Amino acid sequence: MTDILNVAGLTKCFDGFTLNNISFRLQPGYIMGLVGPNGSGKTTTIKLIMNMMKKDKGAININGYDSVKGEVEAKELIGYASDECMFVDDWKTDDVKKTLALYYKKFDETQFERYIDDFDLPRGRKIKDFSKGMKTKLMLAAALSHDTKLLLLDEPTSGLDPVIRTELLDILQEYIVRGNRSVLFSTHITTDLEKVADYITFINDGKLIFSMDKDSVLETYSVVKGSPESFNSVKEILIGCRTNRMGFEGLVLSENAAKLPRDVVCEKATLDDIIVYHRLGIRPWAL
Amino acid sequence: MGALKSMLLDLKACKVYWKNIILVLFVLGLFVINMSKSVDALFLVIFLLFLPLWQYPFAAYDKCSLLYLSLPQKKSDIVLGRYLLAVLGIVFAFILSACIGLICDPQSVKNGDMFLIASVSTLFIAVLISVQAPIFFKFGYMKSRIFAFLSLGIIAGLIGFALPEAVVGKDISSVMEMAKSPLIPVILLIISAIIVVVSYCISLAVFEKREG
């Protein structure tokens, strides 16, 4: 089966930051969450997929089209929504419709209108007067109305209230039902991932930590807790930890759980734990 | 085709500035009424009024660059579309000049004054476009605006210093006498075209390398 998205060895260097050798693939019919702390390279990865930036190394393939050589064809297949509204402030929904109709061969005006109605977006109001949620919905309506294969969303749920967030997640799930479409979305809100993501790709400080299915991620890592005395016996296997006078709490690979002393408690890790402890690492003062 | 779409998007993105464009056309109308006896100066005014219009697509792009870059088009289409819009503006100004000339002072069309003024104005705008566009595609709108007006100031300064006071100080008809040759407008238009083409190539090169 052809991957909807295949990213191989993606590298991009900036002054003081390098997105280093990122590789992952997304097959049709799945939702992938792209997670990582602020400044880890999520938005850069998405912009490179969209060919909004020039990559230094690597290859990006979107449903068979190279993201650079086949840029126009690839973008026809992508529904993109950024974390900020892309449209002109003084436009109304009708202006958005006309612009998209101008560019996308398979733009479906009726479908766009239906989304505008479903999302309760006011037709007579300028976009600058829309709320954050309305703007996100408008971008989604635009992204969903031109027969796309891949939805590429850069932090679509940030700043949205829980009701709209839930609505949005429902839309994403509905989007992939046909089985030939996929979603890649970056987020900080791990509860959203727990609800809808099939795969998780985690980038930290420009490096790919993992890209695997959600259940495997949660099985791969464990959280350990113990007293200050037992810290020395586990510090070698810790990926990241927090310490205080009462003891420590940290992240380990589940396969190392067998090496833990008896007084160290081992629990299932959440996505939040995995992200936080990778970011924290082992602080020198902890050692 | 892609460049035409991009040009249309430029026009759509300028929606917020349409009020200004209407205002400019209104001012133009006033000039036509008041200056119908001094058609030579009117031609210059028509072109000068197109200068601010050229700024609007740049300002608009700055606010919605993500949209431009997310749509299925190549970066070269965005650059070509912008230059097409500029050329269209010049052609429109040229035609407008000719129409007003024919209505208000057919003599100015017959003796070639109108074409000389229009070609000088074209060169003037071509220089502005050619300086501003590559800087915009490299550094963004704010810097390009500064450089555009700086270049205008330099041109104005050069004209002021280079031409003898006898020419600058007197009415424009004395300039006409100096350039009666019908070849002059053609040469000026060719120079304008060359400047714009060189500028387009530079813009294309810098925009392809630009991040975001």
Residues of B with CB under 8 A from a CB of A: 2, 5, 8-9, 12-13, 15-16, 60, 63-64, 66-67, 69-74, 209, 211-212
Q: Which of B15, B69, B70 sits opposite A91 (nearest CB)?
A: B15
Indicate the pLDDT class of residue A208, thresholds 50, 70 and 90: very high
Q: What is the DSSP letter of A211?
A: E
Q: What are the tens digits of pLDDT across the range A242-258?
A: 888 888 889 999 888 87
Distance CA A181, CA A172 (A): 10
Indicate the pLDDT class of residue B198, thresholds 50, 70 and 90: very high
Residues of A with CB under 8 A from a CB of B: 47, 50-54, 71-73, 75-76, 80, 82, 84, 86-91, 95, 98-99, 102-104
Distance CA A85, CA B66 (A): 9
How confident is the model over B159-179, as a mean pLDDT? 57
Percent of chain A with pLDDT over 90: 51
What's residue A76's pLDDT? 94
What's residue A287's pLDDT? 47
Residue scoring higher pLDDT (B88 or A201): A201
* Region of residue A107 (phi > 0: left; psi between -120 and 50: alpha; otherwise: beta): beta
Q: Does the pLDDT of residue B155 top 80, yes or no?
A: no
What's residue B158's pLDDT? 65
Chosen from B6, B7, B70 to mutate, greatest number of chain A CBs within 10 A: B70
CA separation, residue A35 to residues A13, A86, A155 (Å): 20, 22, 10
Distance CA B74, CA A103 (A): 12
Contact A103 B71 (CB under 8 A): yes
What's residue B140's pLDDT? 81
What's residue B11's pLDDT? 83
Q: Does the pLDDT of residue A237 top 50, yes or no?
A: yes
Measure in Å the smallest separation between the Cα of B56 and chain A Cα atoms: 13
Percent of chain A with pLDDT over 70: 98
Mapping DSSP to helix (H, G, I), strand (E, B) and coil, where does residue B71 land? coil
Residue scoring higher pLDDT (A202 or B98): A202
Q: Among A143-147, A154-158, A194-198, B161-165, where is mean pLDDT lowest?
A: B161-165
Chain A residues lying within 8 Å of B67, measured CB to CB: 86-88, 99
What's residue B53's pLDDT? 67
What's residue B208's pLDDT? 85
Percent of chain B with pLDDT over 70: 74
Q: Which of B64, B211, B212 sits opposite A86 (nearest CB)?
A: B64
What's residue B47's pLDDT? 64
Indicate the pLDDT class of residue B163, thresholds 50, 70 and 90: low
Q: Which two tokens stand for residue B111?
A: 């003796």
Contact B212 A53 (CB under 8 A): yes
Chain mean pLDDT for chain A: 89
Q: What are the tens digits of pLDDT across the range B6-33?
A: 888 888 888 777 777 777 777 777 776 6
Residue A86's closest chain B neighbor by CA? B67
What's residue B177's pLDDT? 62
Measure in Å the smallest separation between the Cα of A187 and chain B Cα atoms: 19
What's residue A200's pLDDT? 94
Q: Which two tokens stand for residue A182?
A: 């996929």
Q: Among A41-50, A271-280, B153-162, where is mean pLDDT lowest?
A: B153-162
Mapping DSSP to helix (H, G, I), strand (E, B) and coil, where does residue A147 land? coil
Residue labelled with tokens 């200068």: B51
Contact B72 A104 (CB under 8 A): yes
ipTM (interface predicted TM): 0.84
Q: Among A115-124, B91-100, B167-176, where is mean pLDDT lowest?
A: B167-176
What's residue B203's pLDDT? 92
Q: Among B43-57, B107-121, B138-152, where is mean pLDDT lowest?
A: B43-57
CA separation, residue B138 to residues B69, B82, B134, B153 (Å): 15, 14, 6, 22
Q: Among A62-76, A213-227, A246-260, B149-163, where is mean pLDDT lowest?
A: B149-163
Q: Among A132-141, A216-225, B68-77, B156-165, where is mean pLDDT lowest?
A: B156-165
Indicate the pLDDT class of residue B180, thresholds 50, 70 and 90: low
Non-local CB neighbours of A4 within 8 Å, separated by 6+ positions: A26, A27, A28, A62, A63, A149, A150, A181, A182
Measure in Å the smallest separation between the Cα of A43 and chain B Cα atoms: 11
How confident is the model over B92-97, as a mean pLDDT? 78
Chain B residues lying within 8 Å of A95, measured CB to CB: 12, 15
Q: Does the pLDDT of residue A77 top 90, yes or no?
A: yes
C-alpha triplet B70, B75, A13: angle, nearest 5°: 80
Q: Of B208, B103, B92, B199, which is closest to residue B147 (Cα–Cα)?
A: B199
What's residue B166's pLDDT? 47
pTM of the entire predicted model = 0.84
Residue scoring higher pLDDT (B10 or A287): B10
